[in-house]
Amino acid sequence: VQLQAFGGGLVQPGGSLRLSCVASQFSLYNYGIGWFRQAPGKEREAVSCMSTTDANAYYANSVKGRFTISRDNAKNAVYLQMNSLKPEDTALYYCAVGKSQNRSPYVPTAPVEFGSWGQGTQVTVSS
């Protein structure tokens, strides 16, 4: 199981980035997915997560209305569209995949509910 995240970079406040996470050696279909971030000196937090059926999604209060999570099963990829970026969004962003394959509206959000993690991609929001 390999997850490769990319798309991070340096962006000015108010700008946008689209993070991508591509899975290899297994299919993302029917797995819960999530994006987490960790800033220096802070704990890893869930930014946005989606249920296995894509019926439900979770967004941290700090990103609601600005970030959008999506999945493309044909490309075996997960995305995080980030708009109106703020300096406080600066962090290392990780994609993650749930531990079990099923059909459920439940949205996993705790790190322990995810079994595979990407290597992280750095997002820096600064003028």
CA distance 66 to 73: 23
φ, ψ of residue 122 in degrees (nearest 5): -80, 130
How far separated are the first and last CA of the chain, in Å rounded? 37
For residue 52, what pLDDT is reported?
87
For residue 4, what pLDDT is reported?
94
Asked if 93 contacts 80 with a C-beta cutoff of 8 angstroms, the reply is yes
For residue 25, what pLDDT is reported?
86
CA distance 13 to 86: 5
List of the chain residues with pLDDT < 70? 1
pLDDT tens string 43-74: 999 999 999 888 899 999 999 999 999 999 89
Asked if 24 contacts 2 with a C-beta cutoff of 8 angstroms, the reply is yes
